[in-house]
Amino acid sequence: MRISKEFLTSYCTNVAIDSMSIMTPLELFDLPDTFLDEIATVNVSTGEQLESKIIPPNFEINGIKVKAEIKNFFGNENLVIMFTSKHLEKNYFQGLKSSTFLDAFLYIKKALRIEIAYTKYITNSTCYDIDFKADFEIKDSTFHMFLAEHKNMPVVKFFKSKTKKYLEKPCFNGMQFINRRDASISQPFIKFYTKSDELESRSTDFKYHYNIHCPTDLRRFEVTVRNGKHINHLGISNNLNDLLSMSKGMIADVMIKLYLNHFPKTFISSLRSDRPTVMSLQDWITCSLMFELMQVDRNADLDIILKEFVSSFPGISDQSKSRKIRALKDKLLLFIENQKKYDLTRFIQTPDKAFIKR
């Protein structure tokens, strides 16, 4: 069972940005005199001031964190503000996007007492540490089945529910790929979790102050893009205005790419036991990987996939490519025929809440 682009774009709600750090040249702001607090350490015996520290704004209002700091990059001072979906208050689940970001911007302006024009802010700001998210509803039994599909992956860590719902019968309610601090381009940080449990255990003040209703079967898929290098690797812009303008399909592409980063080695090793005797291991792995590509984009043309796949082979003539394409097509059709017998239906995505086509 795999998450596909079709599943994200057709059956998930609120595919958007959940949080991000936004960096803007400090000179563009009008800041109040009290924006930065200064704390001095004093010798109580002599009254001598020993040292002083500048403390940036970092506080919480009704479960909503407000955090800002001034950072120096290459000799230029920038104001970095952490934006999250909670800054949308009652519209929390919609996430940060072009149609909602103004509300979050106005919330931060009021909380920090800063002045800057909205258009100036979104066009002159860059972003990093971006969390993309997608919400979907599935039953507990199906979600637990989905989690179990990943139990043999060494980078996966499961976590149990801490809410009253599962006190009598504890069970896993989510998982994450790699620790956030250890995440990299090749192994990005990813989470799947039950949103109602997370709100109940970690965001109680926010949930009850804003009367946030969350279905008990709501799950969240979340990925993190850490820094500029990671952003460039994915081929997206770090400009705030560009990020807010990303379509649902563009965000889905990024999320699927990060999710599939974790699979090649584990996926290939799991195929050894599934392979029928009518195919070599090499052909079985090749067809399996092509089948995975087909599931990422269900509208993709088989002939185009095969042509692009074979075109990547070095030092092969056009005539040889044509023969290779025909041979691979026959093997792929054989693979698809055998998938029913060898229980490979776990790779087929469906919109059904059961999440798997049986």
| Same structural domain, 124 and 207 | yes
Neighbours of 1 (CB within 10 A): 17
Write down the pLDDT at residue 47.
58
Which of 203, 234, 260 terminates a domain? The answer is 260
Closest CA to 185 of 231, 222, 148: 231
Q: Residue 238 is which amino acid? A: N
Q: Residue 204 is which amino acid? A: T
Whole-angstrom distance, CA of residue 42 vs CA of residue 320: 81
**Residue 43 covered by a domain:** no
**Residue 192 covered by a domain:** yes
Q: CA distances (Å), 60 to each of 96, 103, 106, 171, in order? A: 19, 18, 16, 31
**Residue 285 covered by a domain:** yes
| Same structural domain, 141 and 277 | no
Which ranges of the chain would DSSP assign to H, the alpha helix?
Answer: 5-11, 101-112, 118-123, 140-148, 195-202, 204-209, 228-234, 240-244, 248-260, 264-274, 281-296, 302-311, 318-339
| Same structural domain, 247 and 290 | no
Residues of the chain with pLDDT under 50: 39-40, 166-170, 265-273, 341-358
Are 18 and 94 within 8 A, CB to CB?
A: no
| Same structural domain, 173 and 250 | yes
**Residue 48 covered by a domain:** no
| Same structural domain, 182 and 303 | no
Write down the pLDDT at residue 183.
85
Domains of the chain: total: 2
| Same structural domain, 133 and 227 | yes
| Same structural domain, 220 and 165 | yes
Write down the pLDDT at residue 164.
53
**Residue 106 covered by a domain:** yes
Which of 260, 276, 293 terminates a domain? The answer is 260
Q: Residue 274 is which amino acid? A: D
Complete DSSP assignment for 324-356:
HHHHHHHHHHHHHHHHTTTT-GGG---SSTT-S
Range of the domain at 301: 264-347
Whole-angstrom distance, CA of residue 89 vs CA of residue 102: 12
| Same structural domain, 208 and 334 | no
| Same structural domain, 278 and 161 | no
Which of 245, 260, 275 terminates a domain? The answer is 260
Whole-angstrom distance, CA of residue 329 vs CA of residue 298: 17
Are 65 and 71 within 8 A, CB to CB?
A: no
**Residue 356 covered by a domain:** no
| Same structural domain, 81 and 183 | yes
Q: Residue 232 is which amino acid? A: N
Write down the pLDDT at residue 341.
45
Write down the pLDDT at residue 15.
93
User: CA torsion angle for 329, 334, 340, 345 (degrees, to 10)?
Assistant: -30
Write down the pLDDT at residue 323.
81
Q: What is the pLDDT of residues 175-195, one digit of tens each?
A: 998 888 888 888 899 999 999
pTM: 0.71
| 202 class by beta-carbon count within 10 Å (0-12 exposed, 13-18 middle, 19+ buried) | exposed
Q: Which of helix, strand or coil describes residue 143?
A: helix
Write down the pLDDT at residue 187.
84
**Residue 352 covered by a domain:** no
Are 66 and 108 within 8 A, CB to CB?
A: yes
**Residue 242 covered by a domain:** yes
| Same structural domain, 228 and 288 | no
| Same structural domain, 188 and 250 | yes
Classify the C-alpha dihedral 83-89-93-97 as positive or negative: negative
